[in-house]
Amino acid sequence: MKLAVTINEHLVAQGEQLGHIRDDIDQIESNLKRAEKQMRVFMRYQISHFNNNNNNNNNILILFHKNIFKKQTFLDDDDD
């Protein structure tokens, strides 16, 4: 009987720990999504701001934007 109580206590503790880990993962995913949105806004601003300039910086920004943001990332997958 004592063994069953001990096992139950450990299982409950592990369940709580897994819940905290999941909460932390959710927070990290939220932070990454926010950072990705901010990067997209920054790149759109940079491209529109330098749109009238025909220099290499503009071309580099456009290439960066196309290569980074055209690809689907794990942040776009909503399995939940």
Where do the domains of the chain lie?
2-72
Q: How far apart (Å, rounded) are the C-alpha atoms in residues 41 and 46?
A: 9
The two structure tokens encoding residue 17 = 């720990």
Specify the long-range contacts of residues 34-40, CB closer than 8 Å, at least 24 apart: 36/73, 36/75, 40/69
Q: Output helix, strand, coil percentages for the chain, rounded to the nearest 5.
A: 80, 0, 20
29: CB partners within 8 A, 6+ apart: 75
Residue 15 has pLDDT above 70, yes or no: yes
Higher pLDDT, 47 or 39: 39
Task: Give the tens place of pLDDT for each residue, 24-45.
Answer: 999 999 999 999 888 888 877 7
Residue 75 has pLDDT above 60, yes or no: no
* AA letter at 24: D
Higher pLDDT, 16 or 57: 16
Mapped onto helix, strand or coil, the DSSP state of residue 72 is coil
